[in-house]
Structure 1
Amino acid sequence: MATAVTDSSTTVDLDVKRQEIVARAEATGLRLVRFLYCDNDGVIRGKSSAMSGLRDRLESGIGLTVAMQAFTMLDHLASVDGMGPVGEIRLVPDPTTFVVAPYAPHTGTVLVDMQTLDGNPYAADGRAFLKRMVARAAAQHDLALLAAFEPEWSLARKEGEQFVPIDDSGCFTTTGMNIAASVIDEIVAALEAQGMVVEQYYAELGWGQQELSIRYAPALQAADHHILYRETVRGVALNHGLYASFAPKPWADQAGNGCHLHFSGWNREQTLNRFYDATGEYNLSTLGRQFMAGILDHLPGLVALTCASVNSYRRLQPQMWASAYRAWGPDNREGALRAASPFKGHEAESVNVELKSSDSSANPYVSLGGVIAAGLDGIERKLTLAPAVTVDPHTLDESERKKIGADRLPESLEEAIQNLKRDETLLKAMGERLATSYIAVKELDIDAFAKADEAFEFRQHIYKY
């Protein structure tokens, strides 16, 4: 049966796309195609199809126990009604996401939607949540989010049971670039081979720390790209005998790894940046400011989605350039939201906002879906954005921060989850099934790490992410 998927500019015949995937897989000598998803704890998981039966599985999917969306990063099973040993869903590929994996021999990858046995979206699927938010923004507000995840990550060697940074070079130094040059070169080639456009690269502040950014894309594609990016970086690094870690704080004495989220709001045709106003403060439109105000309003609970691990809150500290306060400002890297300075002569296209309270332990679909839900609430309630902060908010006294609502962000995942449980807007947007399973997974993580020492926490996060 012919099926099609439509966005604002294109219609894709999925049957034709599936046929093209099979033909390409055969032509390139693939033996396995990985059906990948991201779970509620931000861990990328999946199953693989051999070439026999691939055509059918591209349409009907691969079976998966309903329990998997209740699994934690430690492979513990959270107690969630209906997410135990009985029941199945299907991992149904989105054919538009298929790529050949340059880092794995004879292997392709495709990203999936979780579906019930009768073909409906599975209510605990983060990708389905993001799709709903994208559709809501377009239908109700003529708004299409363009976004880019901007991850930092650390390259390490394993020595015995310890993960050790590959260097002790300085921030932006060519020494750091040269030490990592061979693996970075292969990563760039692998990303480009999968259709991702590399923008910038440099060695970051922490030992062994790298930052390599790719071009923005429509919201769903941006989240898809982040999954493929993480897989590519880790896969290429392993081929060099190295480990690439996206953990928020892989080592206690080194800079943390953020995954700053850049976004701008365009009309559905993506011809007009609706966050831009030439006469507005910092070139921000009223709509853009309302969207930002919504994010700041919900940020105490939203960080449970964007800074999603126990380890995240070691990074989210004052004066670490990681954003510890609910504040915003122009090019203020200590605020939770940064109004990025536009490029001269390209102001209308380049005005965008950066959420710094974000890291790669988050499921990017859940994270970006939550950001959109919060921003739309700001638009719908016509919220007023607090005054810009043009200094490090930590240097303000408590009374000054209170006047502008620049309170301290949660200092633990436990605190963030409690805030999320009180945020009816985010819970309603996520839906009962996703919200319940997500919170259950995080609360089991919180309990597990509370019973262990710091060494266990660092090791589990540096390896799992």
Structure 2
Amino acid sequence: MAQTNTSQEIIEAIKASPSTKIKLAVTDIDGILRGKIISKEKFLKAIDRNVGFCDVVFGWDANDMVYNNSKVTGWHTGFPDATASIDLSTSREIPWNDNTPLFLADFHRDENMSNVCPRTLLKRVSEEALNLGFKPKFANEFEWFNFRETPDSLNEKGGINPTPLTPGMFGYSILRSSQNQAYFDDLFNLLKKFEVPLEGLHTETGNGVYEAAIAYTDILEAADRAVLFKTGVKEIASRHEIMASFMAKWNVNLPGCSGHIHQSLWDEKEEKNLFFDDSRDHSISTIMEQYIAGQLHCLPHILPMYAPTVNSYKRMVAGSWAATSVSWGVENRTTALRVINQTVDAMRLENRVPGADTNPYLSMAASLASGLYGIKNELSLDIEATSGNEYDHKDHQKLPATLAEATEKMKHSDLAPKLFGQTFTDHFSRTREWEWEQFSNAVTDWEIKRYFEII
């Protein structure tokens, strides 16, 4: 993998590559890859000099509409170039694109953008963990729906009523995966060549829905893999005239799509899983107990980091396999946090709150920062583990039910700035307020059907 090579070896490999171009990408606040193709010559110069990216990448939403409430950039700043720094350790080739080299960049050296760059935020939180003597190891797993559509065919339908890749509820179906064998195989094999290795890939419950578990690794590499996974799946799907969607809930009658995070802390040499202690109940160490307590304490204050869109909250309803409360349990898939304690190496915590629509840098940063908060403050795990169905516990603290409610709580929280900094918290809250405003101003099909004639 690229991470095993020195910077000089990577540079020499690029010089020797037959490719004349490089794909360079940064990640915006919504987790969308924004990038450009640059010449090999410009890339080699940019390694030391960095490269300019218009800072509108943090000044507009997922549909390229410019925020009218942003402080860090906007019409009032003139949208200057920001300085992006290329991370050579992210080097990989895109196997479905003539092995074009790809690199990720971030804004950790840019005075203005470093405070709001999602990848830079994760690097800061990860560094804090390392300074405390912890090596965070993380992985994402995603569910997503696949449709027999192209951008043009869906546009002709007005962007609604996509045709699922396959009909019926076929979770863990060998039959359904074999019926789209070429696509299924390409996902597994091409993503591995893209250095986004999968531990597993299978169908899930729902029309044309798949689930993939990405291999466990260092937290920053895990987030890089997650971002590249979502883009990679969409590009591979397009080669098969399929559209892949990571919406949290595209159809009220079908399950939603999760973006669960698996996480553990190890010692600096990565020899000891610090979450495991076989002398304690369920083998949950004191460190893990404090980590869980921290995540539960922070969860209501930072929910938009896990549920960033209006649609996110359509997934988070009772009986949906998604979290609705501040809760935890051992091997319990109805709670927000699930302890998996099968073996010492596999001992980990699964955060089941995030949907597939999250920005992996932000959801992982939120998970780690809140867990570390619990450790640093030696929080007690006062919430009892849930046995049985968490949805039946009506007395447990419920999570905010809408993006507006969750954003308002985060915006006025004293806790969020402690975890992520005041500038980031303010900017991110403003972007979520903007997202809710766009939804509130829209006239939906539901409104037309309900009110057009009868009211």
The letter for the 2-side match of 1:40 is: I
Task: Note if contact 1:121-1:128 (Cα within 8 Å) is conserved in structure 2.
Answer: no
Q: Does 1:129 align with 2:125?
A: no
Taking a change above 3 Å as real, the CA distance of residues 164 and 364 of structure 1, as seen in their structure-2 partners, is: same
For residues 110 and 221 of structure 2, the distance between their equivalents in structure 1, rounded to whole angstroms, comes to 25
Amino acid in structure 1 at the alignment position of 2:298: H
Partner residue, 2:416: 426
1:283-298 equivalences in 2 (<5 Å): 283-298=283-298
Q: 1:230 and 1:86 mapped to 2: Cα distance?
A: 28
Matches within 5 A, 1:395-410: 395-396=392-393, 398=394, 401=395, 406-410=396-400
1:256-290 per-position Cα deviation (integer Å, ceiling 9, x unaligned): 11011000111111111000010222211011010
- Structure 1 residue aligned with 2:192: 192
**Measured at CA, do residues 124 and 22 of structure 1 come closer, stay the same or move farther in structure 2, by a change above 3 Å?**
farther
CA distance in 1: counterparts of 2:82 and 2:445, whole angstroms? 36
Aligned to 1:103: 96
Q: Structure 1: 5+ residue runs without aligned partners? A: 1-9, 458-465
Secondary structure of residue in 2 paired with 1:269: coil
State the partner residue of 2:450: none
Are the counterparts in 2 of residues 35 and 91 from structure 1 also a CA contact under 8 Å? no
Query: Partner residue of 2:142?
Result: 151
Does the aligned pair in 1 maintain the 2:248–2:315 contact within 8 Å?
A: yes
Distance 1:88 1:115 in 2: 14
Superposition deviation, residue 358 in structure 1: 0.6
Look up the SS of the partner of 1:329 in the other structure.
strand
Amino acid at match of 1:32: K
Closer, same or farther: CA 13–285 of 1 in aligned 2, 3 Å: same
Q: Give 1:318's aligned residue.
A: 318
The answer to whether the Cα contact below 8 Å between 1:374 and 1:426 also exists between their aligned partners in 2 is no
**Aligned counterpart for 1:413 among listed residues 390, 400, 403:** 403
Q: Is 2:31–2:227's contact at 8 Å kept on the other side of the alignment? A: no
1:392 equivalent in alignment to 2:384 = no
Distance 1:235 1:219, change over 3 A: same
Instruction: Name the structure 1 match of 2:371.
Output: 375
CA deviations 1:289-312 (Å, max 9, x no partner) are 100110011111222101111111
TM-score calculated relative to the size of structure 1: 0.88
Give, in whole Å, the separation in 1 of the partners of 2:344 and 2:140. 21
Q: Secondary structure at the match of 1:414?
A: helix
Q: Is residue 340 of structure 1 aligned with residue 340 of structure 2?
A: yes
Q: C-alpha distance in 1, partners of 2:70/2:241?
A: 39
Q: Which residue pairs with 1:164 in the alignment?
A: 163
Does 1:250 pair with 2:241?
no
Asked if 2 retains the 8 angstrom alpha-carbon contact of 1:327 and 1:389, the reply is yes
CA deviation string 1:305-330 (max 9, x = no partner): 01111111010111111111111111
| AA in 2 matched with 1:297 | H
Contact 1:339 1:353 in 2 (8 A): yes
Shift of 1:360: 2.8
Name the CA shift for 1:455/1:352 in 2 (closer, same or farther; >3 Å): farther
Percent identical across equivalent pairs? 25
Deviations along 1:146-198, whole A, 9 cap, x unmatched?
Answer: 11000111111225424221111321122321233211101111111123332
Pair 1:166–1:269, CA change in 2 (3 A): same
> What CA RMSD, in Å, does the superposition of the two structures yield over aligned residues?
2.1
1-structure distance, mates of 2:443, 2:171: 30
Query: Which of 10, 19, 42 is 2:31 aligned to?
Result: 42
Shift of 1:218: 0.7
- Give distance in 1, aligned partners of 2:347 and 2:442: 44
AA paired with 1:48? I
Residues 198-207 or 63-72, more deviating: 63-72
Query: What is the distance in 2 between the residues matched to 1:151 and 1:325?
Result: 21
Whichever residue aligns with residue 370 of structure 1, its letter is A
Q: Describe the SS at the equivalent of 1:255.
A: coil
- Conserved 8 A contact 1:113-1:121: no
8 Å CA contact 1:373, 1:426 repeated in 2: no
Going from structure 1 to structure 2, the CA distance change for 1:211 and 1:415 (only over 3 Å counts) comes to: same
Q: Confirm or deny: 8 A CA contact 2:108 2:120 kept in the other structure.
A: no
Conserved 8 A contact 1:32-1:106: no
State the Cα distance separating 1:70 from its structure 2 match: 2.2
Correspondences of 1:219-298 after superposition (within 5 Å): 219-298=219-298
Which residue in the other structure is 2:452 paired with? none
Quick check: 268-277 or 298-307, which moved more?
298-307
| TM superposition shift of 1:65 | 2.0
**Whole-Å separation in 1 of the counterparts to 2:21 and 2:314:** 39
| Stretch moving more, 275-284 or 52-61 | 52-61
d(CA) in 2 for partners of 1:425, 1:70: 25
State the distance in 1 between where 2:94 and 2:41 align: 19
Q: Deviations over 1:200-239 (max 9, x none)?
A: 1211011110012121011101001101111211110000
**Alpha-carbon contact 1:298-1:423 (below 8 Å) kept:** no
Hey, what's the Cα distance between the residues in 2 that align with 1:134 and 1:252? 37
Partner of 1:7: none
Aligned counterparts of 1:456 and 1:156: Cα–Cα separation in 2: 23
Number of matched residues? Answer: 431
Displacement of 1:455 after TM fit? 5.5
Aligned residue number for residue 4 of structure 1:
none
Deviations 1:361-411 (A, max 9, x none): 222112111111111111122111121101112213x3xx3xxxx311111
Q: Which has the higher contact order (CA 8 A, sep 6+)?
A: 1
The alpha carbon displacement at 1:425 in A equals 2.8
Superposition map of 1:39-78 within 5 A: 39-78=28-67
Pair 1:235–1:217, CA change in 2 (3 A):
same
Change (3 A) 1:456 1:184: farther
Q: Does the Cα contact within 8 Å between 1:154 and 1:246 map onto a contact in 2?
A: yes
Matched, 1:14 2:7: yes
Q: Give 1:448's aligned residue.
A: 438
What SS is found at the alignment partner of 1:387? coil
**Is the contact made by 1:147 and 1:218 (CA closer than 8 Å) also made in structure 2?**
yes
Show structure 2 runs of 5+ residues with no match: 448-455
CA contact (8 A) 1:306 1:358 kept: yes
Are 1:89 and 1:122, in contact at CA under 8 Å, matched by a contact in 2?
no
